[in-house]
Amino acid sequence: MAASHVQGKTMTISRRKFVAAGAALTGSMLLPRVAMAADTIKLGSILDTSGIFDAYGKPMNMAMRLAVDQINADGGLLGKQVEVVSYDTQSDMALYSQYAQQLTRQDKVDVVHGGILSASREAIRQTMHKTKTLYFYNVLYEGGVCDRNIFINGVTPAQQVEALVPYAMGKSGKKVYILAADYNYGHITAKWIQKFVADNGGETVGVDFFPLDVADFGSTIAKIQTVGPDLVIAPLVGGAHLSFFRQWAAAGMKDKIALASTTLGVGNEHKVLTAEEGNGIMVAYNYSQELDTPANNAFKKSWADANGGDQSMHEIAVSNYQGVLTWAEGVRKAGSLDRDAVIEALETGVSIDGPAGKITVDPKTHHAVLDVHLMEFQDQGMRVVETLPQRQPIDTQAVCDLQANPDDNKQYEIEI
């Protein structure tokens, strides 16, 4: 592609040679790191490693490569090495469907790990389903996806929001204001928050949605004050929305109204905000760098060794790492790369021990049973306040049973 538009203008080498060279060049550029030999296993990865979501995607990419390197160092899978075929979607949703086609039809990978925003997952999920390419979405999300071809190990609202809301309301009060990102994740998560606020005897006094490029929250902050909630819960997403937390602190609101988020810190935002801006914000995730366990310390060390001392691992990077390990465990158990065999193996309830603790595949929903930690930001870290062990994805379990309906293929949404 890159060379085609200059084909006609070359004078010194023959047209045929030029086209051949161009094709070879183009081919080699489009297929980074694809081994030509068939004795490798191809792992497809599709992530935003540049653009406004790169704070999420870059560490996810490093995590995936670390997991693959460790698998290969231990002798690979089924006696074969794992090769990575990766694409950078540049924080552009349109590129997801294009690269998904490429991974499934041209590269013919054995498994795909990736997708960050829920919009990107829905953009590629059907391509994976149609081409019968096993797909792992390793990101915290709004729950409800029911599809036998996909495995999801990120925390869902029943695992996260259900724990966060009563904790945050207990520390503040009953009146809750919600600020959410304006796409499927934000809308569905806002509904879950409203449900859990009501379940805990509280009241949702306002909900506002913001497109992903909104960066000025001045009038919103004034509006929140006119309503006067006890607690603000903010499922905001991406670099632009980070401004809210900064402007909230600049307006001096931090000590007046409590703040909780279902997304802040997922991309290590607590390290971008200063301690004064971040301290006291309440969150709940599967992972924290502050977890002082042997597994996490070993993981942090091998990450630093692999990436020159870097320590940028975060919630969804660790999810991605754990997703690759879960897939590898499924392949080992199946003794085959065949999609159906691997799915059946994973459905026996495969468990792995990752940096964030034990993760078990839930056979009914293909989601994960995992630990959730209630945390507060403190001095640019996430201090664990309480650990809730082995939570079930009961939101998705209530609507999805892939053992009874293996042909189900939709995302269920909560009705209020």
Partner 1 sequence: MDLSFVILVEIFYAVASLALISAGLAVVFGMMKVINLAHGEFMMMGGYATITAVHLGVNVFVAMLIIAPLIVGLIGLVVERLVIRHLYGRLVDTMLATWGLSLFFIGMATMIFGNTTTSITTPITGFAVGDYQINGYNFFIIFVSAVLLISMYVLLKTTRIGLIARGTMQRSDMAAALGYSPDRIYMATFFCGSALSGLAGAVLAPLVGLVPTSGGAYIAKAFITVIAGGPSLIVGLISSSSLFGVVNQIFTFGISPVFGDVALLISAVILLRLLPQGVTGKFFKGKM
Enter the tokens of residue 21.
Answer: 């060279």
> According to the binding rule CB under 8 A, does residue 213 interact with partner 1?
yes
The verdict on 277 binding partner 1 (CB under 8 A) reads: yes
Minimal distance, residue 111 CB to partner 1, in Å: 28
- Single out the residue of 18, 30, 34, 51 in contact with partner 1 (rule: CB under 8 A): 51
321 alpha-carbon distance from chain centroid? 11
Please tell me the distance from the alpha carbon of residue 414 to that of residue 307, in angstroms, as a whole number: 41
CB of 20 to partner 1, least distance (A): 31
Among 15, 223, 301, 410, binds partner 1 (CB under 8 A): 223
CA gap 336, 344 in Å, rounded: 11
What residues between 149 and 208 interact with partner 1 by CB under 8 A? 182, 208
Residue 209 CA to residue 180 CA, distance in Å, equals: 5
Give the CA angle between residues 227, 233, 235 to the nearest 5°: 125
8-state DSSP, 133: -
Residues in CB range of 340: below 8 A, 6 or more apart: none
**Touching partner 1, residues 319-358 (CB under 8 A):** none
Verify binding: residue 403, partner 1, rule CB under 8 A: no
Q: Is 307 in the site for partner 1 (CB under 8 A)?
A: no
Contacting residues for 102 by C-beta, under 8 A, at least 6 apart: 30, 87
Non-local (6+) Cβ contacts of 393 within 8 A are 143, 156, 158, 159, 362, 365, 367, 368, 369
For the bound state, the minimum distance from the C-beta of residue 317 to partner 1, rounded and expressed in Å, comes to: 14
Nearer Cβ to partner 1 (136/248): 248
Give the integer Cα–Cα distance in Å for 37 and 103: 17
Piece of 10-18, 119-127, 148-156, 274-282 that binds partner 1 (CB under 8 A):
274-282
Residue (of 117, 60, 153, 63) closest to 371 by Cα position: 153
Rounded to whole angstroms, the maximal C-alpha distance in the chain is 79
Least distance in Å: CB of 210 to partner 1? 6
Considering the rule CB under 8 A, would residue 290 count as an interface residue with partner 1?
no
Q: Which is nearer to partner 1, 168 or 212 (CB)?
A: 212
If one asks whether residue 311 binds partner 1 (CB under 8 A), the answer comes out as no
User: Which of 3, 19, 34, 52 lies at the binding interface for partner 1 (CB under 8 A)?
Assistant: 52
Stretch that binds partner 1, among 119-127, 150-158, 246-254, 357-365 (CB under 8 A): 246-254
CB of 178 to partner 1, least distance (A): 13
Nearest 5°: phi and psi at 391? -85, 140
Smaller CB distance to partner 1: residue 50 or 97? 50
> Does residue number 308 form part of the binding site for partner 1 (CB under 8 A)?
no
Phi, then psi, of 346 in degrees rounded to 5 = -65, -35
Tell me the C-alpha distance between 237 and 250, whole Å: 20
Task: By CB under 8 A, name the one of 3, 34, 253, 388 that touches partner 1.
Answer: 253
Q: Which is nearer to partner 1, 39 or 255 (CB)?
A: 255
> Per rule CB under 8 A, is residue 219 in the interface with partner 1?
yes
Closest Cα to residue 206, out of 181, 219, 225, 189? 225
Question: Which residues bind to partner 1, rule: CB under 8 A?
Answer: 50-52, 54-55, 58, 182, 208-211, 213-223, 225-226, 228, 239-240, 242-243, 246-247, 249-253, 256, 272, 274, 276-277
